Structure 1
Amino acid sequence: MRWLLIHIAFITLAFQVNGQELNLVIDKPEVQIGEPFIATFSIVSDQPIDSVGYNPNHPIFYGKETTKDQSSVVNEEYELEIQGMFFDTSFQEGGEFIWKGKYKLVGWDSAYVVLPPEKVYLDDSMHYFPPGLIQITSPQADPSKEIYDINEDFTSLSSDEAGLKAFLMKHWWWILIVLILIVLVIYARIKGRHKKPKVQLSLREKTLKEIDALEKSKSYEVDLKEFYFDLSLLLRSFLAKHYKMRMLDKTTGEIEHLLATKGLEKSTIKLVTMILTKSDMVKFARSAPPVSEVFAVTNEARRVVNEIADLELTTEDE
């Protein structure tokens, strides 16, 4: 346990590099198999962060497997499944300039897993984030349920039963083939009857569903700042995919300038700028809007997505 606590404490250890602080924070010290957890990499600096060169992992984040008592060397590779997209953003909070990147990870084998130091370039200089540790455990058996013994009783076979057994022992192979063919035919008919074509969601539909999910999560009741941060990421991600341009690392002013070159209505650009500015104000603790404004802001985000998507359809028709 002492070893585990030492390593868990090491998860939040910060690397100090030329006035820049590199961190890795894992939101849980222990999860069960199949339970997702969040790994957040961050850079905090007292000077503006001009350039961050980080190559995200996808679709697997490769860790190293170790043991609780350190009896084995950390050399076995462990695959952590990456769920969703890697999100990164830059912002200012007080007198600090911050870059954050998040992974949502899942492990499928019980182990102590070390997240090795990730490489990052700051102004063409190579640095490393600190390593992290997560324990992935198997679900425990329910102690309230009894475990029943198997009573092995043997009875002698009658002559008819002995004959049937001899027949099955002799002809089992073709009986098995017939049974497999029957199962395959039944399966093919059921699959053909109930098979439904997979519907590929458009970027508009996918983004609107993500906004709905964020609103229904009611995360604003727990952390209003985090809610506005997530909404800003959703809108920036939509704009980046729609226009096939980098948006996550752009300031609100830079995004406003880029949108002005895309033929958008001034009212739409003004609405995008208003949502991102409001998110920036909340993130930088310059504003604390009431929770009652949440639904108004999410509706405005939906309106932006629909107006931009409708503009593309109108352009294609022309």
Structure 2
Amino acid sequence: MADILTLVFRTFLSRTGLKKDQKASPVSATAGSSALVLGDLSISRSLLLLAAVTGASEMGMKVVFFTRTQIQSLPVSLQRCVPSLSPESLKKIKFSYPRTVDELLQQVAELHESSNTSPTPPSLIIVDRLEGFLHAPGNDGQSGFHPADQSHAAHVSALLCDTATFLTQVLEQRGSSSGPCRIIASYLSEADTGQTSSKDPSATDPTLDVLDRYFQVRCTLDQDRGYEAAAAAVQEVWHIYLSGRGITGGSETTDCEDTPGVTQEWLLFVFPDGLMEFKLV
């Protein structure tokens, strides 16, 4: 999955960072087949939509995009980044709107069945705001974070991975060039929502710990509110860190035996008109 993210970053390179970015070593297309985007809701959704559009238009992928929120129109950032997006590319993206974790599980499971009738099964599965399914009121009669969330997280993640493996086999059997099937999801942790009861900043989100067992790559968003943002003279600057066992290329850190080291760092520049550009650090 990291290959889709890095393809997005390279497609929308910062003009000032173009020369340095071209030297970046590629990321394996098969090593990181699942990625979890952590952080800001607006930016993470923009990344997911950019991934969907880039996968469909640049790699010819059929994409399934699961989200609880109706998407009436493409965000301004996407319209600015891809002004000439063709209708044919958009037709390759199917938006599905499950409202509960049970509906999400059912619709993901149905992808196994649809492969029997569809000439081209999806090769990119995207889940927007995974925490909205795991923590949604009605899952257990309550709202907020509960032990049951971890069970939901394991169930959803296992099914997503199983589905991706199954669809990868189907794609290979049919000789498709768009395989393997990748998974990308966004998640807002307890620390990011401010709902954690622990005062320890190093405390972990138990649900996130479960998700990390299944997702091979972390894509962490961290807003820069200091010098970098002021110097760039843009509306927002975000640091994007790609890490995890699914990363096999890039400038790897050496001190990462005990904890996953940051393997790649990118900068995301968001301009006042909505345009987004990326730069490899």
For Structure 1 versus Structure 2, the TM-score category normalised by the shorter chain is under 0.3
* TM-score in terms of structure 1 length: 0.19
**Bigger relative contact order, structure 1 or 2, given CA contacts below 8 A and separation 6+?**
2
* TM-score in terms of structure 2 length: 0.21
